[in-house]
Each structure stands twice: as C-alpha cells, then as structure tokens.
Amino acid sequence: MSTLRQYSLGFGATVGGLFTRANLRALFLLWLPVFLASAFLGLCSVILPWWLCMGLAGAVGYLALLWLFPWLGLGAYIVIVLAAPDFKIADVATMVTMAVMVLRLVMHGQLAPPFPRRLRSAAWWFFAVVALSFALGIVYFHNSAPSMYRDGRAFVYWLWLPILWRMTAGQAEPLQKLMRVLIGIAYTVAALALFQWVTGIQVVSGLVASLDSSGAGKNVTRVQMPGFLFVSLAIIWLSLQMLYRRVPVLIGALAMLPLLAALYVNFGRGLWIWTFIGVLIPLMFIGGGRAFKLLATLVAGAVLVAGTLALVKPAVIENISERLVSVKNEGGRRTSYGWRELENQEAIRTLKHSPVFGVGMGGEYRPWLHELRLFAEHVRYIHNTYFFLAVKLGIPGLLCFLLFFWRAWNGARQGLAAVEESNRVTLLAGLSFFPACMGLSITQPEIVSPHSVVLFAALITIFASYSAPEVKAVSPRRKGTA
C-alpha cells in the first residue's frame, strides 16, 4: 500500500472518529453554547456601553460559577440577595439560580433520600395555606398585585428547601459545606458592616446613620443592613468549635472579634440579647463538664473584653450600657416600642374580625396614618413575625408554620445523641440558633425576610438530615458504586 493511500485512510478514520455520537453530543451541549456565548459577548462589547458589557460578563461568570462550583455559587447568590439595592434584582437572581441548580441536579442525576415523613406532611400543610392566602387575596379580598408580590415574595424563597435537600442528599460532607457557606456569609456581612461603620459610606441596602433615637448619643454611627442573623449563627458555631476543641481558643477568640464588632455597630438590642441566649442554649444539650467549661469561658471572656475596653475604649462600654437601658424611655408614641405596640394592637383587632383567613396575602390590616406617610407600606408592614403570619395566613396558617418548625427542630434534637462526634457541632449550632432566632422574630420580621428564609431552609435541611427515619448522615457514595 502506498504512503499516500495510508495517509488517506488515516485521515478518513480520524475525521470519522470526530463525528461519533458522544462527540456530537459534546459539540452541541458544550462547545456550541460556548461559541455562541463568546460571539454574543464579542458583539455586545462593540455595540453596548462598557458598564453593560461588564454586567453581562459578570452574569456569564456567575452562571459558570453556579454550574462548576455550586457551593461557591450558593454563597455568591446569598451575597447578591443581601447586597441588592432593589429587591427585584434579588428575585431575578433567585429564579435564575434556582433554575441553574435544578438543571444541574437533573443533568448529574443526583438522588436524595426521601424527606422525613413527619416534616413532609407539615411542609405540605404550610405550603397549602400559603397558596390559599394567595388565592383569597386575588378572588375574595381583591388585593392589589404589587402588594401581594411584596408580601408574598419571601414565601417563594422556601423553594430552596427541596433544592438544598437534593444538593446535600443527607450526606455528611455536603452538610459541612453548607454550614461553611453560611459561616462565610457571616464574615462577609461582618466585613461589610465594619467597612460602612468606619467609612460612613453605605455600600449595601440598609442604613448608615447616627444613633439619635436613644441615649447612646448622636455621635454614634449605627449600621443597619440585612444578614446579621448569619453573624449570630457564626458566633454560636465558633463558640461550639472552641468548646469541642476543633479550633484552638486563641485562634477562635481572634476569629470571634470581627463578629462581635459587627454586632456592636448594628446596635440592635434584640439581636444582642438573643445571640447571647443562643450561646447559652447548648447548656441544654451538653454534659456537665462541657457546660461548666462553656460558662467559665463566657465569664472569663466577658471579664477580659470588658476590662480591655475599659482601659482602651471606655466609650464602647458606655454606648452598650446606654443602648440597653434606653428601652425604658421608649414607652410612648413615636418611639420604637410605641410603633410596635400600635402594630400589635391593630393586628389583634384584625384577627378578632377575621381569625381564620386574616386579610389574605397583600391585604391591609391597619388604617392609613399621616405620620407615616413617607412609609407607604405601613398599612401592611408589621415587625412581629407571628402577627404578620397570622394576619396574612390566618391563625390556622400560623399554627401550620409553627408545627413545621417544631417538627424540624424537635426531630433533630431527638437525633442529636446518635450523631457522630465530627458532625455534632454543626447540628448543635443549628439547634441553639433556631430558638434564638424565633425569639428575635417577636420584634423583627426575620422569618419572613428572603435572606432569612434561605438561612432557615439551610438549617431545616441540616435538621432533616439528622432526623428520622435516618438519624446519622450517610457517608459520601464512592465513584463507580451503585
């Protein structure tokens, strides 16, 4: 056979091998979208302004991050929700992120064990009353669509619960990654809060202003922004890490400083008190030796921090003490306590009139007040989460919600003793943080805020993974096994 003939046969075999079914599938599913996306971005860079091109490039990079590194993508998504200047941006990011995550789970064929039965039934009841509230808001109460959207958007974020359940699949390693994402968000929030406090520049949604509504003094800067619940969770988690000797005490104390500083600049009394209670809640679950060690560490740490601040920065102690005792001066109208009391009275009056269905999603529960004309949503907004749920969903809806939360927390509590030592801190941190956040929700609408719903969906995923029917999280499946 001639050399030319051999080259011809070899070239034909090579070209024929390129057009196999596997190669064509890779061409259309991977390389063709990459080529089209590159051509599209190249065309946009010529036609569109630079800032819009940067936004498109960032969106493509974000989608790639979600697909290739889903846990990092989840962290980036939560940061977007927290920092978005407009809630519509957060909602669009939510829909896109959910779609990508679901598509990735389907493409990879990732399976998960059945959701615990007692949680599944409670979750269906909760979702049913939410759907009923939307239906009544449209058909019976004739509430406006924008109001229904603003009141009901947080409930859509509960769709993260089945997605996170599929992503973790009840396995110990993904659950640890999920907790690391939450802790990473806590440090991100702390960094943003401290930056705004030092510079006085507002970079995320919220408020950076002088604290002139209490006795702390007008020269004290307060940073209000979403996400401080993550900081509270991180403080509890880090305390348990030091208690169980997963982190050396010195390193843990240094890592605790930015978290405590972030709580300080928030100047939220309820957040301070309930975070402290959350740190003490592990005393209910741990043995006597560890309980004594935890109390001794807290006392020693408090004395050390207070003594250091008294010598270096006594104004910090004065600001904290004045902020805590200033609540006694807030019993009248036009004060933080006074407005909340008025909200609660109006909510009780509404529930007496309509206890079963409330006012429906998007409904108004109180009359218009000229004093609050600059805050048009005051006729629907209420600080107390439980009154909000009762007014919007009815008292049966509130009970379904509490039943769902109770079954999740109690099931994990019953399974705590059987959890492996390496996974106990993760579960114990969630069990301790959960009641503290429920207490904070008496004065803040935390449970019905979108970013908090994502946090609660993550915690319930952890609870369900260590609850019945399988208490102990299974080990990751090896490659090549069924």
Answer with the one of 80, 108, 136 that is the final residue of a domain.
108
pLDDT tens for the chain, residues 1 to 482 = 555 555 555 555 555 555 566 565 655 656 666 667 677 666 666 676 766 777 777 888 898 899 999 999 999 999 999 988 677 888 999 999 999 999 999 888 777 778 888 888 999 999 999 999 999 999 999 999 999 999 999 999 999 999 999 999 888 899 999 999 999 999 999 999 999 998 888 888 777 877 654 444 456 788 888 899 999 999 999 999 988 888 898 899 899 999 999 999 988 888 999 999 999 999 888 877 778 888 887 888 878 887 887 777 777 877 777 777 766 555 555 667 777 888 899 999 999 999 999 999 999 999 888 777 777 788 888 999 999 999 999 999 999 999 999 999 999 998 888 888 778 899 999 999 999 999 999 988 888 899 999 999 999 999 999 885 444 555 444 444 43
CA 193, 201, 445: angle at the middle one, nearest 5?
45
Answer with the one of 108, 136, 168 that is the final residue of a domain.
108
Q: Could you give the C-alpha distances from 192 to 11, 25, 107, 145, in angstroms and in order?
A: 60, 45, 36, 34
- What is the extent of the structural domain holding 54? 21-108
Q: Does residue 342 lie within any of the structural domains? A: yes
E strand segments, 113-266: 207-210, 221-224
Q: Does residue 388 lie within any of the structural domains? A: yes
Q: Does residue 227 lie within any of the structural domains? A: yes
CB neighbourhood size of 262 (10 A) = 27
**Contact call for residues 436 and 277 (beta carbons, < 8 A):** yes
Q: Does residue 205 lie within any of the structural domains? A: yes
CA-to-CA distance for 85 and 206, rounded, in angstroms? 9
Residues 203 and 230 reside in one and the same domain: yes
Q: How many domains does the chain have?
A: 2
**114: DSSP letter:** P
Residues 398 and 436 reside in one and the same domain: yes
Global pTM reads: 0.84
Q: Does residue 480 lie within any of the structural domains? A: no
Residues 305 and 208 reside in one and the same domain: yes
Residues 144 and 228 reside in one and the same domain: yes
Q: Which of these, 85, 364, 321, lies nearest to 93 by C-alpha position?
A: 85
Q: Does residue 475 lie within any of the structural domains? A: no
Residues 365 and 288 reside in one and the same domain: yes
Q: Which of these, 108, 115, 29, 32, lies nearest to 70 by C-alpha position?
A: 108
CB-count exposure of residue 358 (10 Å: 0-12, 13-18, 19+)? buried
Q: Could you give the C-alpha distances from 352 to 135, 141, 324, 367, in angstroms and in order?
A: 22, 17, 34, 16
Residues 34 and 144 reside in one and the same domain: no
Answer with the one of 54, 82, 108 that is the final residue of a domain.
108
Q: Does residue 183 lie within any of the structural domains? A: yes
